[in-house]
Amino acid sequence: MTVPPAAASPPEEPDSPGDLAEIYREHHDFMWRSLRRLGVDAADVEDAVHDAFLVVARRLPEFAGRSTLRTWLFAIAMRVAQSRRRDHQREAHHMRQYEASLTPRSPADPQRRHEVSVTLHQLLAGLDEDQRAVFIMIELENMTAPEIAAALELKVATVYSRLRLARQAMQRAVTRYLARSQERTR
């Protein structure tokens, strides 16, 4: 015997979000396991869980129930894990660059590195303060324009404009510096 459509049980409602404390109690272990399985280092997983639940707290009013709560939480865990991996890769890259800069290549290298450092600081001092900040953050610290815009509370277009002006100014300063260096060696 078939059940008529009107008598069929209603479709299951998506999880209702509830309050944050309840979600944390019920889904902490799920979040921890998910983040660990998504590649977060064991030493960092507790911090990642904390970060994920900060996102949950901020985004909970936006939860519309288009998916289950667990699916929504897993999506947050996925983005937190991706962000942590990117941050870890960026930190590792910066550490390799830093270590490489400390590795002497020849006995005269420390003196040469000091001269280059002094020259770089002199060239940077010639830049407008706002341009210098953007130039350092992008060219020397490998930050992205959106990161800088957020940190300095600027529009991304403003960051790119300052970077363009700073690069032009640095190019002119380097050209002058090299011309003076060539005159001294004659």
pLDDT for 57-113, tens place per residue?
999 998 888 888 999 999 999 999 999 988 888 888 777 776 666 655 544 567 777
**42 pLDDT band (50/70/90 cuts)?**
confident
Residues 38 and 69 in one domain: yes
The answer to whether residues 90 and 158 belong to one domain is: no
Is residue 9 a part of any domain in this protein?
Answer: no
Please check whether residues 124 and 161 belong to one and the same domain. Answer: yes
pLDDT tens, position by position, 97-129: 766 666 555 445 677 777 777 788 888 888 888
> Where among 98, 124, 143 does a domain terminate?
98
Instruction: Look up the domain containing 63 and give its range.
Output: 20-98
* Assigned domain for 153 exists: yes
Q: How far apart are CA 133 and CA 124, in angstroms?
A: 9
Residue 4 falls inside a structural domain? no
Give the list of residues 6+ apart from residue 24 with CB closer than 8 angstroms, or none: 53, 56
- For residue 27, what pLDDT is reported? 95
Which of 98, 119, 153 lies at the terminal end of a domain, its last residue? 98
Q: Are 178 and 172 in contact (CB under 8 A)?
A: no
Number of domains in the chain: 2
CA 123 to chain centre: 28
Secondary structure, 3-state, the chain: CCCCHHHCCCCCCCCCCCCHHHHHHHHHHHHHHHHHHCCCCHHHHHHHHHHHHHHHHHHHHHCCCCCCHHHHHHHHHHHHHHHHHHHHHHHHHHHHHHHHHHCCCCCCHHHHHHHHHHHHHHHHHCCCHHHHHHHHHHHHCCCCHHHHHHHHCCCHHHHHHHHHHHHHHHHHHHHHHHHHHHHHHC
Residue 7 has pLDDT above 60, yes or no: no
Q: Is 15 a member of any domain?
A: no
pLDDT at residue 54 is higher than 90: yes
> Final residue of a domain: which of 52, 67, 98?
98
d(CA 4, CA 172): 82
